[in-house]
Amino acid sequence: MQKLLRRVSPVIFHYPEIKLQSRRDHYNWSLLDTHDSCTDYYKHLRSSSSLRKTMEKLGAIDIEISEDGNGVEVFCRKEI
């Protein structure tokens, strides 16, 4: 049934795979996952060096950049 629904509906749901505590948790998880998958068109793809330059320009320190399954991830700090 899931395979059929995924072909005709953009809504993403994980009922069998994820053991959450309530229907509300499943609803919120599905809402966030669906939004994330439908907004890929609007994401701005940037390189690691471009992100590092932007963080440095903003005054960030301890910049760590990694390329993972989620794309490029940046962790940094900014002194107060």
Compute φ and ψ for 56, nearest 5 degrees.
-65, -40
* CA atoms within 13 A of residue 14's CA, in its CB half-sphere: 14
* Threshold 0.85, pTM exceeds: no
Report the chain's mean pLDDT, rounded to a whole number: 81
Question: If you search the block for the tokens 């005709």, which residue do you land on?
Answer: 8
Instruction: Give the mean model confidence (pLDDT) for residues 51-79.
Output: 90
Q: Are 36 and 11 in contact (CB under 8 A)?
A: no
Q: What is the pLDDT of residues 13-23, one digit of tens each?
A: 666 667 777 88
Q: Which two tokens stand for residue 29?
A: 């998880």
